[in-house]
């Protein structure tokens, strides 16, 4: 884990920022479903970011981080790695992620990240023109792999 369970991103919320949010279920090319957290500014800029969480998957911390990005005008989508093995429901702080990490494959991650990129570039994601990826812990090595997210 990269932080305590009750931590928030080290960026203070921006007062008065108009941000919308949703928790879509995305569909990867291999047929798998996974949960995501989508935050976007009232006025989109064409800039978007995919957030790849740590080993816990889609935790509250990354949802708040997505909101912080949206508050500064960058549409954000944090994804969950474990839709294939743990389903698409919400998980508590007591979620045992270890067995799910062991079942995670590059093919699955690649399909999920590609789906997230397509979502942000499509109508649901407001047609992002510039797309970035950032990752933490387990997700930190993923964006640097030689793959173009189309």
For 81-104, what is each residue's pLDDT tens digit? 999 999 999 888 889 999 999 999
pLDDT of residue 3: 63
pLDDT of residue 92: 86
Give domain 27-130's CATH number out of 1.10.3720.10, 3.30.70.100, 3.40.50.1820, 3.40.640.10: 3.40.50.1820
All residues at 6 or more sequence positions from 110 whose CB lies less than 8 Å from its CB, including other chains: 147
E strand spans, 42-91 = 47-52, 75-79
Query: So where are the chain's domains?
Result: 27-130
E strand spans, 42-139 = 47-52, 75-79, 130-135
Q: Of 37, 29, 13, nearest to 120 (Cα)?
A: 37
- The two structure tokens encoding residue 111: 């399909």
């Amino acid at each position: 884990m990269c932080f305590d369970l009750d931590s928030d991103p080290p960026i203070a919320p921006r007062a008065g920022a108009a941000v919308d949010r949703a928790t879509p279920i995305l569909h990867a090319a291999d047929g798998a479903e996974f949960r995501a957290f989508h935050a976007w500014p009232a006025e989109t800029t064409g800039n978007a970011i995919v957030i790849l969480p740590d080993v816990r998957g889609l935790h509250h911390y990354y949802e708040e981080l997505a909101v912080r990005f949206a508050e500064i005008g960058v549409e954000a989508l944090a994804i969950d790695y474990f839709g294939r093995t743990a389903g698409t429901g919400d998980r508590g702080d007591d979620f045992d992620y270890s067995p799910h990490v062991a079942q995670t494959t590059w093919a699955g991650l690649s399909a999920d990240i590609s789906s997230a990129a397509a979502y942000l570039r499509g109508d649901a994601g407001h047609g992002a023109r510039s797309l970035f990826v950032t990752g933490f812990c387990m997700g930190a090595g993923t964006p640097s792999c030689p793959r173009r997210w189309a």
